[in-house]
Each structure stands twice: as structure tokens, then as C-alpha cells.
Amino acid sequence: MSAPISYAPLPLPLIVKGQVQDQNLERIRQNRFWLKNQIQTKGVTRFKEVLVCTVDHKGKLYIHTEK
């Protein structure tokens, strides 16, 4: 008998190559102001500095910058 398979939804991209994905922000009911505050807490000042920013199903942000 095999164990039940559990999975988590894929992370949702919020910034890709410096471009904010507004439709995905809408899906999580947030806005650019919220996103800017979130990346600033990680020491990033501009969206253009971010290669990829995703949010997982638990609301945790992952930010990968050019640096």
C-alpha cells in the first residue's frame, strides 16, 4: 500500500526580471505598495533589482536579486 501523496501549490511569481506581475498581486489580494514594503524589509529598494520574487502557499516571499 502506498502512502498518500501530499503537495503544495506552486509558488506564484510577483516580480519577474524587474517587472511586477500585477495580475498575481490581485490573486493574493495585495498591491504594489505592499510588495514594495515587503522587498524593502529584505534590503531591496527597487523592483528593477529583483530577478524573481515569488510567494508560496503560506505567504512566504522568496526574493532573488541581481547582486
Tens place of pLDDT per residue across the chain (67 aa): 676 776 678 999 999 999 999 999 999 999 999 999 999 999 999 999 999 999 999 999 999 998 7
Which pLDDT score is estimated for 9? Answer: 85
38: number of Cβ within 10 Å: 16
| Alpha-carbon separation of residue 19 from 3, 14, 42, 59 (angstroms) | 41, 8, 18, 20
Which pLDDT score is estimated for 24? Answer: 97
Which pLDDT score is estimated for 13? Answer: 97
